[in-house]
Structure 1
């Protein structure tokens, strides 16, 4: 094993991670963490697939339907806060495993709900798990990635999230009309198995271990990683290069709002809110809009929704290819601007048919999913190791506020007799504001996590 001369420290751990070539170890870790993220995305969108059936079978009002949607989002908001603290306190891998267990068991409970109150309560609990897993998982992936390829490395992993959303809709197209909505939530309970496997197969982040003063464990973990990578590549590892920043400080939640981190947290919070306000303002109501406003059958409605998820997946892939070249800030500005342009075009031409909405909504999700994936890359980059999960999760709090308020606003417009044109016009306005805010984002491309936070 190649080591760094001198006393072991976070710099040496970081340098040893930075010199690792892409290998089967990276693929294995991304696959296992990605499997968790896939099912978290799958479970997140289950309410939207079930909602058209629940509205009919349980005779739900618009207010009740909105409550059913937002209960899970409130859980995600609280889950993000708790998980951020847990991720920095007990570790990234343990927190992710706990979150996926909560998500899966709550999904099974949702399947046995007999009224909207029990359904919403179980979705709230499920949201606690979903909200906790995603930002902490993204933090872990950031911490094992090389700085020069971190954008593509993380965003290729992040593609699993829109893939999970698309899979939820694809499965719903067949399962909901054939077996009923409850079967979807039974499927959503399957990842409970991952909660058992993950801690055994994925090592803890060595950066996090060292930030906790667990130097010996950090050395053991990085040595194990190096051995796996060397065996997989069949070649000697390059020499680590020191001197690229230091990240040894201890921190607290207050540090997110002082010094240089105040600007970072403010801009990041606003971007998270805008991205998910627009995303869920559209996606949560789409199946119901197709059925209720345009008279489409459920299968067609879910197929149109699937189209939007597929274009979102393409958007995530597109930004993964370019973000290490053009940078985070230009990518976010372009994607938010593209979202605003697409939505305002739909509002101006008039909302006349389900197929028209499907076309423009699919164009919008191409940009919106690129924003979302970019923010999961960007958030952990902005904070030191001791506060990285908290910083990423605090952004998650604001995205959950967007998740809650976006559907509520759309529901209020529709319930108050407002037009679909107004729905899409206000979403366009929010996206345009986000594009302006993104101009003030700190650029992070090509820098190590230690350089960005020393």
Structure 2
């Protein structure tokens, strides 16, 4: 069920990148690249509020209510995007949808971690979180089919479909909160406990690494089709790169997550960020389409897939009483990177720089993240 929720989550986030070329060229609001990048950041801004809010409210409302409310919230916001009559209204509904999306993601990760065998927690998290990339593939694939004939609004109407799945979630999600193996000290809420030793240092580091990871995830998913289109590829082929990016994220994550359980997640995360930096850099010089697809797939694993591993590392490192707060903190503060990513891509696109600078710009944060991972805790699962 959490996998299905992440499919919806991924679709709603990545669909903006799939429709962006049409919004820039044929859209009704005469968007410019810088403005389009700013609108692309709106959902991530809402997710910052939603992720931090989930951390505060989960103890009162429980994971079940947070998940159900979040799914209903972002699905209704997608109908608002489909009906928007101005860029301002469209952006407002992207912010609103982001609040629901932000609340859902750490809740789904925490539920999956809580009900997984601790020895295979990284693998379980990877399987669940691959739903995000499946949603991205679905968004790009539907764009190929629907965009030429029905326009961008049809893609947002499709994003309201999770409302039909709500009765299934309501029936089958466990009613009890996730089990606790160690109580939080009296008088200390989860966030207060998280920001005390020994949790404080790791929490700050995970947040910084998530900043770079989410900058890459949201920046590339928002701008890759437009970057490839500006490099001379037809629109359909440009959308295919988005499919390959998220396909690579799924394949790489499912291969590397079990390795992280055995060899240590820190080593695997550092390797993945390094691969992302190299592959994105090579995209600036490669010309043959098969080579471009291969590099894009590696970049997908090294960016989208690596953030999945980082989330799994957070879930494995922190104990159950502060786990949701840790995930909300890491993803919430990391959302600043998600906010920056689309705007960063828009800034590069509107700068008039040569096409290869689009790739240089995203290779740098990947390299920085690879270096910062060395400071993360190396330990395995914490009960």
CA distance in 1, matches of 2:176, 2:296: 38
CA, structure 1 residues 408+295, in 2 after alignment: closer, same or farther (shift >3 Å)?
same
CA, structure 1 residues 427+377, in 2 after alignment: closer, same or farther (shift >3 Å)?
same
CA distance in 1, matches of 2:326, 2:176: 17
Indicate whether 1:338 and 2:309 are aligned.
no
CA distance in 2, matches of 1:36, 1:99: 10
SS in 2 for 1:60: coil
Indicate whether 1:120 and 2:107 are aligned.
no
Q: Answer whether contact 2:7 2:134 (CA < 8 A) is retained.
A: yes
Listed one character per residue, the Cα deviations across residues 159-200 of structure 1 (whole Å, up to 9, x for unaligned) are 222111111111111011122211111111011133333232
- RMSD of aligned residue pairs (Cα, Å): 2.1
Indicate whether 1:366 and 2:301 are aligned.
yes
Equivalent of residue 439 in structure 1, options 370, 374, 377: 374
Q: Which of structures 1 and 2 has the bigger CA Rg?
A: 1
CA distance in 1, matches of 2:161, 2:238: 26
SS in 1 for 2:104: helix
CA distance in 2, matches of 1:345, 1:420: 13
Q: Answer whether contact 1:315 1:369 (CA < 8 A) is retained.
A: no
CA distance in 1, matches of 2:49, 2:160: 21
* Of 375-384 and 160-169, the range deviating more from structure 2: 375-384
Count of aligned residue pairs for this structure pair:
378
> Residue in 2 aligned with 1:313?
250
**How far has the Cα of 1:367 moved from its partner?**
1.8
Which runs of no fewer than 5 residues in structure 2 stay unpaired? none
**How far has the Cα of 1:205 moved from its partner?**
5.2
> Residue in 1 aligned with 2:335?
400
Listed one character per residue, the Cα deviations across residues 118-138 of structure 1 (whole Å, up to 9, x for unaligned) are 111111111111111011110
CA distance in 2, matches of 1:408, 1:338: 24
Q: Answer whether contact 2:241 2:296 (CA < 8 A) is retained.
A: no
Within 5 Å, give how 1:218-367 maps onto structure 2: 247-250=182-185, 251-252=188-189, 253-291=191-229, 293-347=230-284, 349=285, 358-367=293-302
CA distance in 1, matches of 2:34, 2:98: 20
> Residue in 1 aligned with 2:350?
415
Within 5 Å, give how 1:58-73 maps onto structure 2: 58=28, 59-73=30-44
**How far has the Cα of 1:112 moved from its partner?**
0.7
CA distance in 1, matches of 2:149, 2:288: 27
Q: Answer whether contact 2:110 2:324 (CA < 8 A) is retained.
A: yes
Q: Answer whether contact 1:311 1:362 (CA < 8 A) is retained.
A: yes
SS in 2 for 1:259: coil
CA distance in 1, matches of 2:341, 2:195: 26
**How far has the Cα of 1:64 moved from its partner?**
1.9
CA, structure 1 residues 205+429, in 2 after alignment: closer, same or farther (shift >3 Å)?
farther
Which runs of no fewer than 5 residues in structure 1 stay unpaired? 1-31, 212-245
Q: Answer whether contact 1:39 1:164 (CA < 8 A) is retained.
A: yes
**How far has the Cα of 1:275 moved from its partner?**
0.9
**How far has the Cα of 1:358 moved from its partner?**
4.8
Listed one character per residue, the Cα deviations across residues 305-340 of structure 1 (whole Å, up to 9, x for unaligned) are 212221121111112332211111111111111112
CA, structure 1 residues 353+131, in 2 after alignment: closer, same or farther (shift >3 Å)?
farther
